């Protein structure tokens, strides 16, 4: 597979550059519904190090971003308990896209259309490097996970479903 060169700017990469964040670019061939299994294999990193950006909402339809290991699922019950909400559920695709400004499959936590609270699975922050969506389908950026706390104020939570 031919290596793709630099991908044009996205709101996410503009946000990262504006804040002086050093990142690596990892374009790959996007597959509909392929998820982190496809992206991790394409760029040659463990799926556990690829972080998915999920747009969810609480019982009052207040949106939030949840960042989770690619190989794990979010326990919405645990998340709701940890953040003191009655319930948490994924947003419908059109609602998620309206909140984030990104197409689902290309959602980045950086440079979202609306500011939203960000929650990150605590063990993500322990990794030395993570790969997270750079603002378009088929495009990940490699960053230090500390950026999530430093720039987004991401709150560590434990909400991964037990394996």
The pLDDT tens digits for 79-138 are 999 999 999 999 999 999 999 999 999 999 999 999 999 999 999 999 999 999 999 999
The CATH superfamily assigned to 11-157 is: YbaK/aminoacyl-tRNA synthetase-associated domain (3.90.960.10)
**pTM of the shown model:** 0.94
Q: Domain residues of the chain, as ranges? A: 11-157
Tokens standing for residue 77: 């019950």
Q: b/e per residue, 3-34, with b = 16+ CB within 10 A? A: eeeebeebbbbebbeeeebebeebbbeeeeeb
Secondary structure class of 17 (helix, strand, coil): helix
């Amino acid at each position: 597979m031919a290596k793709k060169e630099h991908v044009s700017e996205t709101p996410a990469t503009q946000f990262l550059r504006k804040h002086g964040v050093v990142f690596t670019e990892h374009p790959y061939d996007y597959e509909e519904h392929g998820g982190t299994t496809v992206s991790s294999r394409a760029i040659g990193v463990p799926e556990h190090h690829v972080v998915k950006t999920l747009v969810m909402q609480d019982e009052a339809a207040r949106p939030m971003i949840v960042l989770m290991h690619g190989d794990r699922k979010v326990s919405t019950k645990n998340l709701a308990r940890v953040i003191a909400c009655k319930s948490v559920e994924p947003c419908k695709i059109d609602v998620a896209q309206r909140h984030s400004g990104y197409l689902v499959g290309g959602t980045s936590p950086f440079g979202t259309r609306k500011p939203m609270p960000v929650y990150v699975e605590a063990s993500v922050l322990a990794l030395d490097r993570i790969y997270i969506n750079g603002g378009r389908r088929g495009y990940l950026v490699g960053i230090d996970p500390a950026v999530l706390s430093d720039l987004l104020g991401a709150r560590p939570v434990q909400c991964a479903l037990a394996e």
